[in-house]
Amino acid sequence: MSASKLAVYWHPDVLKHDPGRGCYEYEASPLMEVAEPHPETPERIVNIRSILQRGDISGQVDWRDGRHAERHEIERFHTAAYVDEVIEAEKHPPTRIDGSGTVVDKGSVDAVFAAAGTTVAAVEGVLATENLAAYALVRPPGHHAARHMADGNCIFNNLAIAVETALQNGCRRVAVIDWDVHHGNGTQSGFYDRADVLTISMHMPLGAWGPNHPETGEIDETGEGDGQGCNFNIPLPYGSGDQAYAKAMDELVAPVVRDFDPDLIVIACGQDANQFDPNGRNLLGMSGFRHLGTVARELASELCAGRLLLCQEGGYAITYTGFCMYAVAEGILGVAEPMEDPLAYDASIEKPETPFAAIDEVGRQWRALAG
Ligand SMILES: [Zn+2]
């Protein structure tokens, strides 16, 4: 069953967070004359909002007001000391917290409280309304943030706060599917020893990247204690594309979620696996994202009375991110005649198994012609 509506939760204060300019996401380089905007720009989610307002599915998008979180709601996941640290950091702007490179500037605290509160409002909506799919269109993203520290441009883990909220409000088990191109390490670490939260992450294989990100994202990270078997990492090679993601979703994610039998499915729906993303290398197009949305909705309908929450994460191509989120929404809504992808490369071209196979094939043809 498809959803007839997608409820989108929005609060304008999420635009107040400005990570500034530099050498891409790092400090400005003295070797460069022009500093460029940090990739986690407000513009990327303004464009998602825009396409959902202007596209053909706009009549099926139900806009709802977000809100700021109460501090006690954030502390459902984060430690009080860490919340204090974030608030204090804003008094010395701009600053990079926890040695993670994550920027806090003037306006960031308003933005992170709005992002967390809007996500809590979205999950409360899902729990209170029959067969509701809801989307928290927020920033900065959250899935790298651990209970006690920032990581990877993430300050508060909005999704994890929503999961804790759901568990406090009658859900017995929650399944998280993270298809952001980066490993959802903060969510993984936050629920690693828990049997009531299944965390699945599909991501490109970056491995650990420092003291704030010790998790590798490899398949041997399976949970511990009561949570043993409740964490499932699916590293997908660079260049995987639509078909590989569909296969992973259909043949790995779906059966694992079915076995877990959740009361709520939460998606970390970052779009940075798209083929134009400056931070991602996995080359999905709109059709790939549409399939992910379709399967997510089918699982929610089959297993948990349609209760589905989508949380915005990464996605840094300012234009194509919006098109890819639009495709996810089409999948959730079961749109019969979806939008044609205006920027796709020709997906009908058959891909060789590896670049080496492609080079071998060219070599064979060249030798045959030469020969
Ligand atoms: Zn990401």
Distance 294 CA to ligand 1 centre (A): 21
Distance 347 CA to ligand 1 centre (A): 23
Q: State pLDDT tens for residues 217-251.
A: 999 999 999 999 999 999 999 999 999 999 999 99
Q: Which two tokens stand for residue 149?
A: 């520290």
* For residue 125, pLDDT beyond 70: yes
Distance 184 CA to ligand 1 centre (A): 8
Task: Give residue 100's pLDDT.
Answer: 78
Tell me the C-alpha distance between 285 and 126, whole Å. 28
Q: What is the mean pLDDT of residues 94-115?
A: 93
Q: What is the mean pLDDT of residues 139-168?
A: 98
Q: Is 144 a catalytic residue?
A: yes
Distance 359 CA to ligand 1 centre (A): 30
Q: Which two tokens stand for residue 134?
A: 């809801």
6-336+347-370 falls under which CATH superfamily?
Histone deacetylase domain (3.40.800.20)
Tell me the C-alpha distance between 208 and 35, whole Å. 27
**Region of residue 110 (phi > 0: left; psi between -120 and 50: alpha; otherwise: beta):** alpha
Task: Give residue 347's pLDDT.
Answer: 54
Instruction: Look at 73-77, 240-244, 296-300, 351-355 and tell me which has the smallest mean pLDDT.
Output: 351-355
Task: Give residue 152's pLDDT.
Answer: 95
Neighbours of 261 (CB within 10 A): 12
Q: State pLDDT tens for residues 52-71.
A: 999 999 999 999 999 999 99
Distance 132 CA to ligand 1 centre (A): 26
Name residues whose C-beta falls within 8 Å of residue 219's C-beta, 6 or more positions apart in sequence: 233, 234, 235
Q: What is the mean pLDDT of residues 323-352?
A: 87
Name residues whose C-beta falls within 8 Å of residue 55's C-beta, 6 or more positions apart in sequence: 326, 339
Task: Give residue 349's pLDDT.
Answer: 56
The total number of residues written for the chain in this structure:
371
Band (pLDDT 50/70/90 cuts) for residue 191 is very high
Distance 212 CA to ligand 1 centre (A): 15
Distance 234 CA to ligand 1 centre (A): 15
Average pLDDT, the chain: 95
Q: What is the mean pLDDT of residues 196-216?
A: 95
* For residue 35, pLDDT beyond 80: yes
Q: Which of 267, 263, 281, 353 is nearest to 312 (CA)?
A: 267
Distance 314 CA to ligand 1 centre (A): 4
Distance 181 CA to ligand 1 centre (A): 5
Distance 144 CA to ligand 1 centre (A): 9
* For residue 2, pLDDT beyond 70: no
3 state DSSP class of 350 = coil
Q: Higher pLDDT residue, 303 or 345?
A: 303
User: Residue 102: in which H helix or E strand, if any?
Assistant: strand 102-104
**Which of 143, 144, 182, 213 is flagged as catalytic?**
144
Tell me the C-alpha distance between 308 and 171, whole Å. 13
Task: Give residue 346's pLDDT.
Answer: 62
Distance 67 CA to ligand 1 centre (A): 24
Task: Give residue 352's pLDDT.
Answer: 60
Distance 271 CA to ligand 1 centre (A): 8
Q: Which of 81, 83, 84, 103 is nearest to 94 (CA)?
A: 103
Q: Which two tokens stand for residue 338?
A: 């979806």
